[in-house]
């Protein structure tokens, strides 16, 4: 069921604008709103648990402001420490609450994958972004 919502979100973005315009939307030049859809919570020696963003305390929506170099959820804002643009993705990195995080945004369709890594484990988050 979660895969259906993820695919619908990406399809809606793809229909809304031509492909050449979408690539420009996800290159870090425009603010984005991203919806988190699915999570995987992993600890060493155990199987990962698949769930929803709220299961791991992740926001359902986050706003990425490239100009201010911040990512904001409903409860806190975290600075973007590093930003790297490649032909395929826009890659953001930082740290928050004792975890290091990396967020990769596909420059063609706005799909997003994020990881939060700490000494107690790893959380992987998947979703989709669209321009604000």
Q: What is the largest CA-CA distance in the chain?
A: 45
The structure's pTM equals 0.78
What's the confidence (pLDDT) of residue 24? 58
44-87: per-residue pLDDT in tens? 999 999 999 999 888 999 999 999 999 999 989 999 999 999 99
Residue 10: pLDDT over 70: no
Percentage of the chain modeled with pLDDT above 90: 70
Residue 7: pLDDT over 90: no
* Structural domains of the chain ordered from first start: 2-131 (2.40.160)
47 C-beta neighbours (distance < 10 Å), count: 8
User: 55 pairs with which residues across the strands?
Assistant: none
Q: Using DSSP, how many helices (H) and how many strands (E) does the chain show?
A: 2, 10
14 C-beta neighbours (distance < 10 Å), count: 14
Question: Quick one: pLDDT band at residue 108, thresholds 50, 70, 90?
Answer: very high
Residues 6 or more apart whose CB falls under 8 angstroms from that of 114 comprise 36, 101, 102, 103, 104, 124, 125, 126, 127
């Amino acid at each position: 069921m979660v895969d259906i919502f993820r695919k619908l979100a990406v399809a809606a973005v793809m229909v809304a604008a031509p492909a050449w315009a979408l690539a420009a939307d996800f290159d870090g030049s425009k603010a984005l709103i991203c919806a988190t859809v699915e999570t995987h919570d992993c600890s060493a020696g155990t199987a990962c648990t698949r769930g929803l963003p709220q299961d791991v305390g992740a926001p359902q929506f986050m706003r990425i402001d490239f100009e201010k170099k911040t990512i904001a959820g409903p409860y806190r804002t975290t600075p973007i420490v590093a930003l790297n643009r490649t032909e395929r993705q826009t890659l953001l990195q930082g740290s928050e609450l004792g975890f290091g995080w990396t967020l990769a945004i596909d420059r063609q369709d706005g799909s997003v994958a994020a990881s939060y890594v700490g000494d107690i484990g790893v959380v992987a988050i998947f979703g989709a972004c669209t321009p604000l």
